[in-house]
Structure 1
Amino acid sequence: MPPAGPKLSGLQREVLALYRRALRMVRTKPGAAQPKFRLYVRYAFHTQTRSVSPRNIGAIEHMLRRGRAQLEMYEQKEVRDIWVSKEMREWEGKERSM
């Protein structure tokens, strides 16, 4: 039996499930594009997380709906690459240097 961690709310479980689903989607993309998709997913979740209070349930639910819709689009097999901005690459560099 795994060690018991902190109890998660239903909303927290939904966010984590969406993040895991997004990371699984990355593995379905061509090898050369996977680092860009992974960076996009990490950047989107980390920056969005910091922009909203954990107590703002309405905003979190809205972000979940928007995230699911975006993910459904990116999960399509026709989507093979993604554009990554300079800002995302700079963020990645800062994250790695920490």
Structure 2
Amino acid sequence: MSSRHSGLQKEVLALYRRALRMVRTKPPATRDKFRLFVRYSFKTQTTTVSPRQVSTVEHLIRRGRRQLETYESPTVKDCWVSQEMRDWERKDG
């Protein structure tokens, strides 16, 4: 049985899939950093924002799209990953 998603949920999932597809376009040496950046960004936002805060979620979607457009550029070859992100990855796996 499949669950139904709201329009906003579908937008978030589409943005996440687009971000993961962007990772595949980056040089193999930096893909892990991009993947961690994407996973961390989405996970931390889901724990700090309630799904009922529609205007906040909409704002984050717009901000995420703009940021993703920047990272999708072929000239962007690497991204910065903080120690906090690395620690989160070790803890969360």
TM-score interval, smaller chain: over 0.9
Is 1:25 aligned with 2:22? yes
In terms of Rg, which structure is larger?
1
Residue identity over aligned pairs, in percent, reads 63
Shift of 1:5: 1.1
Residues in 2 aligned to 1:10 and 1:83: alpha-carbon distance in whole angstroms: 32
The CA RMSD over aligned residues, in Å, is: 0.5
Q: Counterpart amino acid of 1:81?
A: D
- Which sections of structure 1, spanning at least 5 residues, go unmatched? none
After superposition, the C-alpha distances for 1:18-77 in whole angstroms (9 at most, x for unaligned) are 000000000000000000000000000000111111100000000000000000000000
Q: Look up the match of 1:69.
A: 66
Query: Which stretches of structure 1, 4 residues or longer, exceed 4 Å deviation after superposition?
Result: none
User: What SS class does the counterpart of residue 74 from structure 1 fall into?
Assistant: helix
- Which sections of structure 2, spanning at least 5 residues, go unmatched? none
Structure 2 counterparts to residues 1-98 of structure 1, below 5 A: 4-96=1-93
Q: Counterpart amino acid of 2:86?
A: R
Residues in 1 aligned to 2:73 and 2:46: alpha-carbon distance in whole angstroms: 25
Residues in 2 aligned to 1:49 and 1:63: alpha-carbon distance in whole angstroms: 11
TM score, norm. by length of structure 2: 0.98
